[in-house]
């Protein structure tokens, strides 16, 4: 399966951001990709107003999602990203959407909110309460995660034990001391924990690091971007997953019960 990862700097104007998403979808499909992963919270962002993502939240049948669905109607590309979806007045859910064939085929409300490094995502965002689903793309089972979820190995492991071959991760990884190192280390660690591919998109711009990566089941980076807008590609191979899991059967060798959501 050919996968694409797009990264860009989200602007404060949602119409600009949806146009960027549509352009990446068009290019990824033209280049033969079957899966496209875009960043977290692509609706709107403003460096001077950290609450803009929530203030700009839409509902499921508003224009941003409708335009993405319309773009996907006539091809088999699966596009994954996250948006803020309205919940109660002044609040929203950071919601991952998988879009294919003109509709949203899966949703996941971010479980682990980013209450760390002097940021409190939970102040305006409602956490999810259920494990994300698996979706199937071109014969691969894909597990869904969002940004800060990367720091919680039990979520990635739950998805792998449920049958995931690859994990996708839209993200907006904030800059800070050693944060690029955290990102790179955690992506490779989760790949090694699960013997899954990791397909991660990081928003770039003034506040976030970019550095989108595609990592193989042995933790090796097979495609990467820097801090600028980019669209990167890699081929994922089912046979290679089988080879790695025969050589490194960590999922079979586990002696602990599968983790449960509390």
Q: Give the tens place of pLDDT for each residue, 208-252.
A: 999 999 999 999 999 999 999 999 999 999 999 999 999 999 999
Q: Which long-range contacts (CB under 8 A, 24 or more apart) does 119-126 make?
A: 119/50, 119/174, 121/94, 121/148, 124/51, 124/54, 124/90, 124/91, 124/92, 125/54, 125/84, 125/91, 125/92, 125/93, 125/94, 126/87, 126/88, 126/91, 126/92, 126/93
The yes-or-no answer on residue 12 being catalytic is: no
C-alpha gyration radius of the chain: 17
260 occurs within a structural domain: no
Spatial separation of the C-alpha atoms in residues 33 and 174, rounded to whole Å = 28
Active site residue 40: yes
Among 40, 196, 203, 204, the one annotated catalytic: 40
261 inside domain = no
For residue 227, count other CB atoms closer than 10 A to its CB.
Answer: 16
Number of compact structural domains in the chain: 1
Please check whether residue 262 lies inside any domain of the structure: no
Tens digits of pLDDT across the chain (262 residues): 999 999 999 999 999 999 999 999 999 999 999 999 999 999 999 999 999 999 999 999 899 999 999 999 989 999 999 999 999 999 999 999 999 999 999 999 999 999 999 999 999 999 999 999 999 999 999 999 999 999 999 999 999 999 999 999 999 999 999 999 999 999 999 999 999 999 999 999 999 999 999 999 999 999 999 999 999 999 999 999 999 999 999 999 998 876 665 5
From the candidates 147, 196, 203, 204, which is the catalytic residue? 147
**Other residues' Cβ atoms within 10 Å of the Cβ of residue 220:** 11
Q: What is the dihedral of CA 130, 132, 134, 138, to 10 degrees?
A: 150
Residue 117 domain flag: yes
Q: Which domain holds residue 221?
A: 2-253
Q: Which position among 21, 69, 110, 203 bears the catalytic label?
A: 110
Assess if residue 179 is contained within a domain: yes
CATH code, domain with 195 = 3.60.110.10
SS (H, E, C) the chain: CEEEEEECCCCCCHHHHHHHHHHHHHHHHHCCCCEEECCCCCCCCECCECCHHHHCCECCCCHHHHHHHHHHCCCCCEEEEEEEEECCCCCEEEEEEEEECCEEEEEEECCCCCEECCEEHHHCECCCCCCCCEEEECCEEEEECCHHHHHCHHHHHHHHHCCCCEEEEEECCECCCCHHHHHHHHHHHHHHHHCCEEEEEECCCCCECCCCEEECCCCCEEEECCCCCEEEEEECCHHHHHHHHHHCCHHHHCCCCCCCCC
CA quadruple 60, 64, 68, 70: dihedral sign: positive
In a domain, 259, yes or no: no
**Phi/psi at 7 (5° precision):** -130, 145
């Amino acid at each position: 399966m050919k996968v694409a990862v797009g990264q860009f700097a989200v602007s404060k104007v949602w119409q600009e951001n949806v146009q960027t998403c549509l352009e990446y979808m068009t290019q990824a499909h033209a280049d033969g990709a079957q899966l496209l992963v875009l960043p977290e919270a692509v609706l709107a962002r403003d460096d001077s107003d950290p609450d803009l993502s929530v203030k700009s939240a839409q509902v499921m049948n508003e224009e941003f999602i409708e335009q993405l669905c319309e773009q996907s109607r006539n091809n088999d590309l699966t596009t994954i990203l996250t948006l803020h979806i309205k919940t109660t007045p002044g609040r929203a859910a950071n919601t991952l959407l998988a879009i294919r064939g003109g509709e949203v085929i899966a949703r996941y409300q971010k479980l682990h909110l980013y209450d760390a490094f002097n940021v409190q995502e939970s102040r305006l965002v409602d956490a999810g309460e259920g494990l994300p689903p698996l979706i199937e793309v071109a014969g691969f089972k894909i597990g869904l995660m969002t940004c800060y979820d990367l720091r919680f190995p039990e979520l990635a492991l739950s998805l792998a034990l449920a049958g995931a071959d690859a994990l996708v991760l839209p993200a907006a990884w904030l800059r800070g001391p050693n944060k690029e190192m955290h990102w790179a280390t955690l992506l490779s660690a989760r790949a090694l924990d699960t013997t899954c591919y990791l397909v991660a998109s990081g928003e770039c711009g003034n506040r976030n690091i970019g550095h989108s990566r595609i990592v193989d089941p042995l933790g090796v980076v097979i495609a990467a971007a820097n801090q600028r807008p980019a669209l990167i590609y890699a081929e994922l191979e089912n046979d290679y997953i089988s080879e790695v899991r025969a050589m490194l059967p960590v999922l079979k060798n586990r002696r602990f019960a599968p983790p449960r959501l509390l």
